């Protein structure tokens, strides 16, 4: 599945430098797509799927991704599952991870104020153009042009999983049935890949995911969720914009 990544650099740098930074970020994201896409026959992930290569032959990046997927599988009681649809599909982790890496590379290259939005999952760093925190709207789960919450985040990630955009595409691995009960789950915290995995896992859990999300607060991940029948829930420390 293709998606769109929006990049905003708020640094006070010469325009040619900003363009270079954007270009190198795009190059990295295209590289990730070439190496990890399950839609490309020649990607490393596709070759591992066909057993043309074994785990020891894989790149450090892919082994790290698989290791993190396994860790998140345990952390989420199996609800975040890179094998949920059958063959290996680490896309659910790769997207957030690639944006995390992109943001870290930007910072190392001199961009300390930016945000990247990969299909609705956002990593931000430093101050927004106005000097304050980034204002992140959480899409209303029924009204595409409205927001349910606005968060103020200076450093960290906001990820949302929901059933409204692509229908029932998240499965409950325990029952094999499409996830039901929750319509939208947003998780905010330090790491985008983790936030995204937590949001997807909670969505797969259904309403018991609300109690599970509450426990993630201790790890630094706050959340907002909306049930299928329109009830809204937030964790006490959710950084809602004033």
Give the interface with another protein as residue ranges (CB under 8 A).
Answer: 1-4, 6, 8, 95, 115, 117, 119-122, 124, 128-129, 134-140, 143-151, 158-166, 184, 186, 208, 210-211, 213-215, 217-218, 223, 225-226, 230-236, 241
Choose among 149, 148, 154, 109: nearest CA to 131: 154
Strands (E), the chain: 5-9, 114-118, 121-125, 134-139, 147-153, 156-162, 182-189, 222-227, 232-234
Pick 16 or 242: Cβ nearer another protein:
242
Residue number, 48 or 201, with CB nearest to another protein: 201
Give dist(CA 242, CA 229) in Å, integer: 27
C-beta of residue 77 within 8 angstroms of C-beta of residue 86: no
Report d(CA 7, CA 46) in Å as an integer. Answer: 28
Q: Supply the minimum distance, in Å, between the C-beta of residue 52 and another protein.
A: 29
Q: How far is the CB of 92 from another protein (least distance, A)?
A: 10
Among candidates 156, 210, 204, which has minimal Cα distance to 180?
A: 204
CB of 213 to another protein, least distance (A): 6
* Residue 115 near residue 134 (C-beta atoms within 8 A): yes
Nearer to another protein (CB atom), residue 53 or residue 112: 112
Cα–Cα dist 50/41, whole Å: 10
Alpha carbon 136 to chain centroid distance?
14
Neighbours of 152 (CB within 10 A): 14
End-to-end CA distance of the chain: 36
Measured from the CB atom, is 13 or 214 closer to another protein? 214
Smallest gap from residue 58 Cβ to another protein (A): 26
Minimal distance in Å, beta carbon 49 to another protein? 22
Residue placing its CB nearer to another protein in the complex, 71 or 220: 220
**Which residue's CB is nearer to another protein, number 48 or number 204?**
204
Least distance (Å) between residue 232 CB and another protein: 4
């Amino acid at each position: 599945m293709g998606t769109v990544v929006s990049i905003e650099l708020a640094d006070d740098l010469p325009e040619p430098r900003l363009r270079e930074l954007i270009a190198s970020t795009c190059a990295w994201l295209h590289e990730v797509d070439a190496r990890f896409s399950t839609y490309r026959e020649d990607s490393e992930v596709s070759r591992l799927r066909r057993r043309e290569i074994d785990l020891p032959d894989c790149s450090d990046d892919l082994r790290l991704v698989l290791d993190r997927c396994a860790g998140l599988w345990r952390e989420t009681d199996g609800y975040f599952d890179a094998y949920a649809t059958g063959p290996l599909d680490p896309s659910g982790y790769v997207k957030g991870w690639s944006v995390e890496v992109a943001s870290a590379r930007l910072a190392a290259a001199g961009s300390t104020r930016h945000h990247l939005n990969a299909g609705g999952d956002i990593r931000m760093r430093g101050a927004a153009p106005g000097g304050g925190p980034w204002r992140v709207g959480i899409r209303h789960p029924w009204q595409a042009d409205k927001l349910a919450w606005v968060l103020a985040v200076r450093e960290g990630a906001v990820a949302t999983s929901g059933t409204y955009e692509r229908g029932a595409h998240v499965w409950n691995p325990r029952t094999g049935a499409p996830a039901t009960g929750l319509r939208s789950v947003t998780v905010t915290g330090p790491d985008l890949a983790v936030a995204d995995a937590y949001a997807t896992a909670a969505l797969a859990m259904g309403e018991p995911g609300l109690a599970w999300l509450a426990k993630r607060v201790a790890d630094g991940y706050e959340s907002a969720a909306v049930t299928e029948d329109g009830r809204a829930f937030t964790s006490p420390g959710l950084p809602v914009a004033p």
